[in-house]
Amino acid sequence: MRHDVQDVIVMTGASGGIGVALAHELARPNRKLVLIARDREKLEALAAAVSEQCAAVETAALDVRDRDALHSFLADLDARHPVDMIIANAGVTAGLGPNRSREGDAEADRQLDINYRGAVNTVMGVVEAMRLRGRGHIVLVASLAGMRALPDMPSYSASKAAVIAYGHSLRGWLKPFGVDVSIICPGFVTTPMSARHKGSKPFEMSAEKAARKMRQAIERKRAFYAFPFVLATGIRLQNLLPARISDLFMGGFKAEIEEDPRFRK
């Protein structure tokens, strides 16, 4: 590793569409990127692609649901290279069953375990070290669905709402210790995950454009950033309406979510 490394950034969910684009956005000559995901081959390909832009790149094929393995890796990493920023980006989607029947138990559990508990596992692996050092930046990637739940994606919406609440709590706790917390809520982004979403996707944008917006919000240490602006503003205004009226607007977001091939039995 070169001696001009100034900061160390860890990101989970690095092999997904947003993760890949964000890795490219964050890559700098004075940075060490630590990329975490389950798919080793995709991680290695990404590391090779961004290595010319970074002082150093490290990968770890880990599942954020495996708390012990994740914490062990992060503790070792922080001992070698104190972590300046951690981005909890790992996430999965699923929806209702056939003919709008109830969610499958496995799908509901998986979304809560990866989207919420995985984020908590990620943060808890470094937060105490950051608190004691009196510096650091925690970034939680949630979703607009966490601000206003989608009728066809109950567990996904709930998991992202939990991430938002968790982030607000972390920020209140950690601000006096000098640790920043940013909550990022993207809308529809063109990724393999989004391709499984069969329904209206207003203001959908490319992963590259989304990653650029996320990087700018992160660099400005925005406490809460939701985009695209028009859709996020509409959600904020809609949340001010009585629930029965607000519910009428959600009919336009009806969708079917195709099965995630990574988790087929």
pTM summary value: 0.94
Domain ranges of the chain: 7-263
Residues 6+ apart with CB under 8 A from 16: 37, 89, 90, 91, 191, 192, 193
Would you mind telling me the total number of residues written for the chain in this entry? 265
In which element (H, E) is residue 181 found?
Answer: strand 179-185
In whole angstroms, give the CA distance from residue 19 to residue 139: 13
In whole angstroms, give the CA distance from residue 188 to residue 173: 31
The pLDDT, as a whole number, for residue 50 is 96
What would the pLDDT profile of 93-150 be if each residue is shown by its tens digit?
A: 999 999 999 999 999 999 999 999 999 999 999 999 999 999 999 999 999 999 999 9
β-bridge mates for residue 180, sequence order = 137
5: pLDDT strictly greater than 80: no
What would the pLDDT profile of 20-63 be if each residue is shown by its tens digit?
A: 999 999 999 999 999 999 999 999 999 999 998 998 999 999 99
Answer yes or no: 166 catalytic: no
Single-letter residue type at 164: I
3: pLDDT strictly greater than 80: no
What's the CATH class of domain 7-263?
alpha beta
The pLDDT, as a whole number, for residue 6 is 78
**Which whole number is the average pLDDT over 65-93?**
98
1: pLDDT strictly greater than 50: no
Collapsed DSSP state (helix, strand, coil) of residue 138: strand
In whole angstroms, give the CA distance from residue 247 to residue 237: 13
239: pLDDT strictly greater than 80: yes
Helix ranges restricted to H, 136-225 = 154-174, 192-195, 207-219
What would the pLDDT profile of 182-203 be if each residue is shown by its tens digit?
A: 999 999 999 999 899 998 899 9
Which of 116, 156, 166, 225 does the annotation list as catalytic? 156
pLDDT > 90 in the chain, percent: 87
In whole angstroms, give the CA distance from residue 79 to residue 257: 41
The pLDDT, as a whole number, for residue 250 is 85
In whole angstroms, give the CA distance from residue 193 to residue 92: 8
Identify whether the C-beta of residue 115 lies closer than 8 Å to the C-beta of residue 130: no
Place of tokens 């690095």: 14
Identify whether the C-beta of residue 69 lies closer than 8 Å to the C-beta of residue 61: no
